[in-house]
Structure formats: C-alpha cells, structure tokens
Structure 1
Amino acid sequence: MDVRAQLVMVFNLDKCIGCHACSISCKNIWTDRKGAEYMWWNNVETKPGVGYPKKWEDQKVFKGGWVADGKNLRLRAMGKGGTLLSMFFQPNMPKLEDYYEPFDFDYGNLYGAKEGNDQPVAEVFSQISGEKMAEIKGGPNWDDDLSGSPLYAAEDINLDDRKIIEEYDTMFMQYLPRICNHCLNPACVASCPSRAIYKRGEDGVVLVDQNVCKGWRFCTSACPYKKVYFNWNSGKAEKCIFCFPRTETGQCNACAHSCVGRIRYVGVLLYDAEQVEQALLKPDDQLVEAHRAVILDPRDESIRDAARKNGVSEQWLEAAEKSPVYALVKEFGLALPLHPEFRTMPMAYYIPSLSPVLSTLGDTHELAEHGTFPALEKLRAPIGYLASLLAGGNREVVASVLAKLIALRGYMRGRNLNEPADEAILKGAGLDEAAAGRLYRLFTIGGHDERNIIPPQQREEQDPHTRKGASGFGILKKTGRGR
C-alpha cells in the first residue's frame, strides 16, 4: 500500500449561479500579463454547450487522455513514434479560434479623440497583434446562458437526444465551473518530452517548471480537459497551480474564497497510489466505483501508519479526517469525477444538479413527490446527460446521488416546517438522521472553516521522496516520462 495525500476540490452544481466571480479572481491574480490574455485557469461554462475551448470534451477531435489497451493504459494520441513525429507540430491541439482571440477596447480614444461631429467610440483591438478587429467572434464564455441555442447547446456531445433543447418544456441549463483537475494519472505529465510538468508529492498539485519547459505543447494536446495553455509571449506552458502559495499557508484557493454561491469545498484525500492503474483499466461504467475504491479511510489506523511512512504529517492526517471532501466524495458518495472515461483520475469532483420542475394538476400547480420533487426520470436535467458528464455513462450511480439529494431536501424541509419527519425517506436513499444533519450543515449553514480544511505545510520539512521526484506513479514510470 502506497498511501499519499492530495488536496482536492468539490463543486456543488446545484448552487452555482454562474456569476464568474471565481474566474475573475483567478484571472486578476494569476494571468494578468502579456501572453496569458486568453488563459482562464478557472472558467464557468453553460451546459448544455460547447465549452471553452470549443468542444474540448470531444476526444475524437482532440485525442486527449488515456485509453485502456488490454491490460495496459496508453495515451490516446501518443507513443514513442508519434511523439517524435509531432515534435514540431501538434495536429490535435486547439487553435486560437477554439479559445478566442483576446481583445480589449481603445478606451483612450474616448478621452483623447479630436473634436468632431460624432461621439467617439472605444474600438476593439487584438491583444496579440495590436491591430483593430472588425468584429468579436468569440470569448471565454461566448455561449453563456445559451443552453437552448441550436448553435451551441446542440453541439454538446453529452446530449443523446437533441430534441430536449428544442422544446421549451424540456429545455434545461446548468453551470459547470472548471479548473485543472490535478489528476492522479495526469496525461500532461506523461506526455511531456522535457519532463517539465510534475506532480508534487506533498499535496498532489500538478505544476510546470518554467525553467525546464521547452514549449513543445504535448501537454496541451494530451490534457483531455484542455487546462494547459501555451503562453505565446514566453513560449512556455502554463496552467492552474491550485493557488499553492495560498494553500501552503492554510488559505483556500482564490476561486473558492471569492465564490458567491459557496459551492466549493477544499480538503485532503488519502489514496493508494498502487491501485490507480488497475482502477483505470475498468470499463467506463465501472470507473466511478473504482475511483472511490482508491480513496482510503483517514480514520483507519493502518492507513494512517502507512501514510506516516510516506512522510504525511500528523497535521495532514488530522485534516484528512475532518475533510469535507472525504465526506462528499467517499463517505456519502455524492460528488462525482468529471468525465472519468478520460482515465486521468481527476481530483476535482462535482455534485450533480437536481434542476427540479413543478408538476401540474388541472388548473393548479402543486409540488410533487415528498412535497418537493418529481420522480427521478422527470427531473429537468436528464439522468443520461449527467451520467455522460460525470459517471462514464453509468445512470445508476447518478440516480443514487440524486435520490440522496432529494431525500435530504424532503427530510429537512419537513423538519424546518415542523412537519412529521419521515425517516423512511432517508433510509430509502441510504442515509440516516445523523448523515442528514451533517450534509445539511455542509450544504447550508457551514462556515468557511468547515467547507475549507487546508493544512499549512513547510516544504523544507517534507521527506525528500514525497517531493517533486516522486510524481511518477506506476503508469508514468512505464512510459518513461514520470519524474
């Protein structure tokens, strides 16, 4: 057993209001400089939609991530021969138009224009070339709130029935905030010929060594989530750093700190690195359960002892025990990985949205089952869509999560209205009264220090084998590209 610790983020999609406060705070801190204008390490997408960059989920186009090849994993589009042939050209990498050409407005013209008969305007110019642009053709959230648009929503690869977005009464929408997933089996790390990308042993954060990066851009092609960017000015790769200068001092990430809806939870997970490869060889519809099996119980003393041998401190073990992330991902099984079929084992998880609708009886509108929600198959966001997005197509996993969320709301609604609380609702979903109380607190009244439990760290105190040189797990070692 090779027990390691990872800082992890969970997103509650039921609470995201799409305000983009997270994106702006990240942008202002980390990518406000030349060459990074088009980079959004944190972005919020409208789903259904094509996302940013456009159609990033379609691996038939971009060929990112891993595929199970018998008893082994291989990068979808790369091997030794492919790497050599693509050294100076990346055929599967997004183009600038798949992101957007970064632009700004000539505000100086509003103040400095010469006197004339017309009102001066702030014309648009490219932040790359500096030349004026005839029109703006895209942006990081170009399809924001357009989940019914045939131009954008209809191109979402998770939709198995596009008629859903053509009728007003079946149309649905939700927001999907995204950061780098800091995966356990990162394709970006395995693909880098320069070995510039590495996974830190002490907290699992995936970083790019700017002094080593040669700008080959294999990392951008290999990442199925397209969360590695190329700085056209410096010629280096850049990506989300999980705000490690903040987390190292116990502060939460800028995106989580600024989140208006309080949808984000940050905490520690313990996992067995030896199980990662075998878990990823499972069929698509079994990946969620295999993923959960890799995560270990921080209260188990044998696991804690194994973690100590790997240099995990008592402070981190205590944080793992109190972690809201462990409760949501493993203990209650509510948070799911984004596109687990990409087989990178992402360490960012999502609680699926309920998107309820009201049932109609005659000329009146009445709330449905349990006084709140209709049956699972009648929820506005189809289970099939959520399963494609978060469960490798496994509808049963998603249905189980939604059943727990519905039961929790029904039970707590009854308590808050001083109505007889029916514990059978909870038991039917695999919960009890104590679990309902804990989840209710996490989802509603829990404070900042309950939603974000981040142990500070002193890197100089870390055991050397848990630092940069230990990022290559078995899978990466086989490719020869692990650090």
Structure 2
Amino acid sequence: MRVRAQIAMVMNLDKCIGCHTCSVTCKNVWTNRQGAEYMWWNNVETRPGPGYPRQWENQDKYNGGWALSGGKLVLRVELKKSYKPPGLDDYYHPWTYDYEVLFSETQAEQQPVARPISLVTNEPVDVKYGPNWNDDLAGTEYILEDVNMSETERAVYTQFKDVFMMYLPRICNHCLNPSCLAACPRKAIYKREEDGIVLVDQTRCRGYRYCVAACPYKKVYYNWKTGKSEKCIFCYPRVEAGQPTVCSLTCVGKIRYMGVLLYDADKVLDVAAEPDPKRLVRRFADEVLLDPYDPNVVAAAREAGIPDDWIAAARRSPVYKMVKVWKVAFPLHPEFRTLPMVFYVPPLSPVVTTYENAYGAKITDIMPKVSELRIPIQYLANMFTAGDTALVEQALKKLLAVRIYERAKNVAEPGLAEKAKAALQEAGLSEADAEEMYRLFAIARFEDRFVIPTNPKRYTNQPQVQRGVVGLP
C-alpha cells in the first residue's frame, strides 16, 4: 500500500442554478489576458447539449483518454495514431467589437454599428459560436449533439413536455491517471505529490499540444500568444493557504465541497485497466480510495510522510463522506480511465410537482418510481457511472430519502414518520446518516464545505509535521 493524499472536489448538481459566477470569477483571476480569451478553466454547460468545446465527450472524434489494448492501458491518441486537438471552430473565435467606429464615424442617416473583430487576427469576423451558445437551450436541436443521449432520447426534444435540463460545471479533474501528463513528450505536465494538483511547467512546455489532444475532458488549452499549454491550477496558491478555489468561494448555489482524499497509488493503474467500464466506479471507490479511520491506512500514511493534520482533515472531509461512505457522488466519464478527482452528485428532477401532478402521489410514494424521474437515469449513468444505472438510482434514492426524513420532522401528516423510516431503510441509510447528509447538503457552513489543511512544502520523506497535535491514534 502506497498512500498518497489529494485535495478533491464534489459538485452537487441539484443546487447548480447555471449563473456562471464561477466561470466569470475564474476568468477574471486567471485567464483575463491576451492569448487566453477563449480559455474557460471553469465553464458551465447546459445539458443535454454539445458542451465546450463542441462534443468534447466524443472520443471517436478527439481520441482522448485511455483505451485497453491487450489488457494494458494505452493512450487513445497513440492507439489510433491520430492527435486531434480541437480547433477554434470547436471552441469559438475570440472577438471584441470595433467600438471606435461609434465615436469616429462621420454623421450619416444610418446609426453606426460596432462590428465584431477577431482578437487573434484583428480582422472582421462572423460570430457563429460561443462558450455558452446553447445556454438554457436543452430543448432545441443542440440536444442532437449530446453523445450521452440514446437515439430514443434524442427524439425527446421534439416533445417539449418531456424535455429535461440540467447544468454541468466543469474544471480540470486533476486525475490520478492523467492522460495529458502521459502524452507530453517534454514532461512539462506533472502531478504534485503533496496534494495531487496537476500543473504545467511553463519553462518546459513547447506547445506541441499533445496534452490538449490526449485530455478527454479538453481542459488543457493552447495559448496562441505564448505558444504554451495552460490549464486549471486548482487555485493552488489559495489551497496551500487552506482556502478554497475561487470558483468554490464565489459559487452562488454553494454547490462545491473540497476536502482531502487518501488513496492507494499502487492500485491506480490496476483499477484504471478494469476491463468492464461499469465496474470502474465501484472499484475506484472501494479499492483506490482509502478509509482514513483504518489503523493500517493511518500507519501507511504516516510512513509516507503525510502529516497528521492531513489525516485528520481526510476524516472530516465532505468529499470522503459523499464519495466513499454514502456513495452519492461519482466521477465524470470514468470510462475515460483517468480516475478523476472531481466528483458530481447527480441532480434530482422536479420531484414533488411532477409526481403530484402526474400520479397524484405524495413525496413519500416516490421511492419505487425513482427510475421514472424526468431526467433519465440512463442519461445520468452515461455521464457519471459508465452506464451503471444501479449506482445512480441508489444515489437518488438516498437523496430522496433524506428529503422524506426531513419532511417528516416538520410536517404533521399521519403515518409520515413511519414512511420516512421505511424510505431510509430502502435507501440503506441510518437516521444519523440522514441528519449528516441534510447538514452537509442543505445548511453546511463554510468550514463544513471546505476542509483544506495548509500545505507543507513537500511532506514525502520530510520530518513529520505536527505529529500528535491532532490526537490521532
């Protein structure tokens, strides 16, 4: 067992309102400069839809991530012998407007117009696409470009009453098995041992863009001004000081949680090479991610030089509880085999109104019908569990059970308390679990959502930091 620690994130999609505040604040802090106009280290996509860049999930088009060849992990770009980084048409051509003409144009009968000008060539450009071009348009033809939709589901967009919509915020996943790192011939991309953050060494990068092609999430960008690759840095200067990322801090819906996960580095490649993609998520949570309360794990972590305050933080981590304990948060497209360390709690549909209107049912009668919710379970499974609908269905049942339990505490309805207990039992939760889940998902304070220890310079092979101060066994 080779224990490592990583700062990880969970996003609760049930609370995302699609306001893009996270994207704007990230843009203002990190990519508000020439050459990075089209870079959105954090972006929020309307789903169903093509995403950003367009159809980034379609690996038949981009050849990103890993594939299995002869039972071994191979970069898909090498297996296919084709590197296909997205072009500006897949993102959008960054532009501004010729505002000067509004002031300098001579008097005429027609009102002067500020036309779009390319920020790359300074020539007039015809604007045809943008980073949020299909914002809130999940019921239009854009649904046809979503690779997670089945042929049957693609036909849904013609029937407005059946249209569903959700928001998907995305950042770099700072994976345990990053394909961008493996693809870089310059070894310019590296994964920090102390906290797992994946970074690009700008002094080594030569802008070959192999990393852009190999990343299946298309979260590495090419700076056309500097000729180097850039990506989300997980706000590491803030994280080192024990502060959350800018996108997490400014999130209006408070959907983001950050904390420490301990993992077994010796298991990463073995699990990533799991032949059955549907087993990836289960093995990832059960075998790679470790229990910080296990004495053997604690001993191995200390031997690896992980400080006691990091182990204590792993025990209090909301990410650990959601991913490992309750199993309600999943990685995005685990079939890409990069083992992402950003997880998502799948969204519930508009539950109460939908079922009271359609079935005349109360919320307590929904549990057997969770597979019939407005957002198709298969669609969510295609995104978060490599098609394993059972995992998604169980997670949604747990979220619903907590709602029923809390409703029973505040609504005087005959038999509601008994139904609440039955819902918890069916979801596999105790009352203590329900109370803690409600606290974290609904009323969590800042210190509950962000459990981030300060970062020592490098803890491996260093003297133990604060040994015994936190009182660990």
Structure-2-length-normalised TM-score: 0.92
One-letter identity of the residue aligned with 1:290: R
SS of residue paired to 2:90? helix
Q: Where does residue 52 of structure 1 map in the other structure? A: 52
After TM superposition, list the pairs within 5 Å mapping 1:348-387 onto structure 2: 348-357=342-351, 358-359=353-354, 366-370=360-364, 375-387=369-381
Q: Report the Cα distance in structure 2 between the residues aligned to 1:122 and 1:465, rounded to whole angstroms.
A: 59
State how far apart, in whole Å, the 2-side matches of 1:369 and 1:28 are.
42
Tell me the CA shift for residue 131 of structure 1: 1.3
Corresponding residue SS for 1:137: coil
SS in 2 for 1:97: coil
**Higher mean Cα deviation, 52-61 or 154-163?**
154-163
Aligned to 1:222: 214
Residue 435 (structure 1) aligned to one of 408, 433, 436: 433
1:195 aligns with 187
CA drift at 1:211: 0.1
How far has the Cα of 1:372 moved from its partner?
6.3
CA contact (8 A) 2:83 2:210 kept: no
Q: Contact conserved, 1:217 with 1:230, CA < 8 A, in 2? A: yes
Aligned residue type for 1:454: I
Partner amino acid, structure 1, of 2:69: D
Counterpart of 1:14 in structure 2 is: 14
**Stretches of structure 2 lacking an aligned partner (at least 5 in a row):** 464-473
Match of 2:460 among 463, 469, 483: 463
Q: Residues of 2 paired with 1:117 and 1:167: CA distance?
A: 46
**Structure 2 partner of 1:309:** 303
Q: Tell me the secondary structure at the aligned position of residue 296 of structure 2.
A: helix
2:229 to 237, 257, 265: 237
Q: Take 1:452 and 1:346, find their aligned partners in 2: how far apart are those partners?
A: 19
- Kindly provide the CA deviation profile for residues 95-123 of structure 1, in whole angstroms up to 9, marking residues without a partner as x: 11000001112334334444443333322
Alignment-derived partner of residue 475 in structure 1: none
Distance across 2 between alignment mates of 1:375 and 1:119: 58
Task: Give the TM-score normalised by the residue count of structure 1.
Answer: 0.90
Map of 1:290 onto structure 2? 283
* SS of match in other structure, 1:98: coil
Structure 1 residue 464, shift from structure 2 partner: 5.9
Structure 1 match to 2:408: 414
Q: Which moved more, 1:298-307 or 1:19-28?
A: 298-307
Q: In the TM superposition, what is the alpha-carbon distance from 1:367 to its structure 2 partner?
A: 4.5
Measured in 2, the distance between the counterparts of 1:49 and 1:249 equals: 37
Per the alignment, residue 336 of structure 1 pairs with 330
- One-letter amino acid matched to 2:92: Y
Is the CA contact (8 Å cut-off) linking 1:56 and 1:226 kept in structure 2? Answer: yes
Q: Distance in 2 between matches of 1:353 and 1:35?
A: 35
The corresponding residue for 1:107 is 99
Counterpart amino acid of residue 414 in structure 1: A
TM-superposed CA distance for 1:356, in Å, is 3.0
Match of 2:26 in 1: 26
Answering whether residue 111 of structure 2 is matched by residue 119 of structure 1, we say: yes
How far is the alpha carbon of 1:409 from its aligned partner? 1.0
- Give CA-to-partner distance per residue, 1:126-167, whole Å, 9 cap, x none: 11111122x3111111111111112x1111111112122221
The equivalent of 2:71 in structure 1 is 71
Any idea what the Cα deviations from partners look like across 1:389-415, whole Å, max 9, x if unmatched? 100011111111111111111111121
Following superposition, the deviation at residue 278 of structure 1 comes to 1.4
- Describe the SS at the equivalent of 2:211: helix
Q: 1:465 to 1:276 in 2, by over 3 A?
A: farther
**Seq. identity, %:** 50
CA separation in 1, counterparts of 2:285 and 2:339? 10
Query: Residue 455 of structure 2 aligns to a residue in which SS?
Result: coil
User: Counterpart of 1:318?
Assistant: 312
- The letter for the 2-side match of 1:300 is D
User: How well do the aligned residues superpose, as a CA RMSD in angstroms?
Assistant: 2.0
Deviation at 1:456, TM superposition (A): 1.0
CA drift at 1:170 = 1.5
Judged with a 3 Å threshold, the aligned counterparts in structure 2 of structure 1 residues 303 and 167 are, in CA distance, closer, same or farther, namely: same
Choose 97-106 or 67-76, whichever is displaced more: 67-76
Change (3 A) 1:464 1:136: farther
Partner of 1:267: 259
Within 2, Cα distance between the matches of 1:158 and 1:394? 13
Asked if 1 retains the 8 angstrom alpha-carbon contact of 2:355 and 2:366, the reply is no
Number of aligned residues: 454
Does structure 2 retain, via aligned residues, the 8 Å contact 1:229–1:239?
yes
Do the aligned partners of residues 92 and 464 (structure 1) sit closer, same or farther apart at CA in structure 2, a change above 3 Å counting? farther
1:428 is displaced (CA, Å) by 0.8
Contact 1:356 1:380 in 2 (8 A): yes
Q: How has the CA–CA distance of structure 1 residues 308 and 163 changed in structure 2, closer, same or farther, with 3 Å as cutoff?
A: same
Q: Which moved more, 1:322-331 or 1:108-117?
A: 108-117
| 3-state SS, counterpart of residue 438 of structure 1 | helix
2:22 is paired with a residue whose SS is helix
Shift of 1:277: 1.3
**Where does residue 321 of structure 2 map in the other structure?**
327
Q: Within 2, Cα distance between the matches of 1:108 and 1:316? A: 55
1:453 to 2:446 alignment: no
How far did 1:169 drift? 2.1
Q: Map of 1:136-147 to 2, 5 A cutoff?
A: 136-147=127-138
User: Is 1:368–1:374's contact at 8 Å kept on the other side of the alignment?
Assistant: no
Q: Which letter does structure 2 place at the counterpart of 1:254? A: V
Match of 1:250 among 221, 238, 242: 242
Contact 1:369/1:375 (CA < 8 Å) preserved in 2? Answer: no
- Structure-2 separation of matches of 1:464 and 1:241: 25
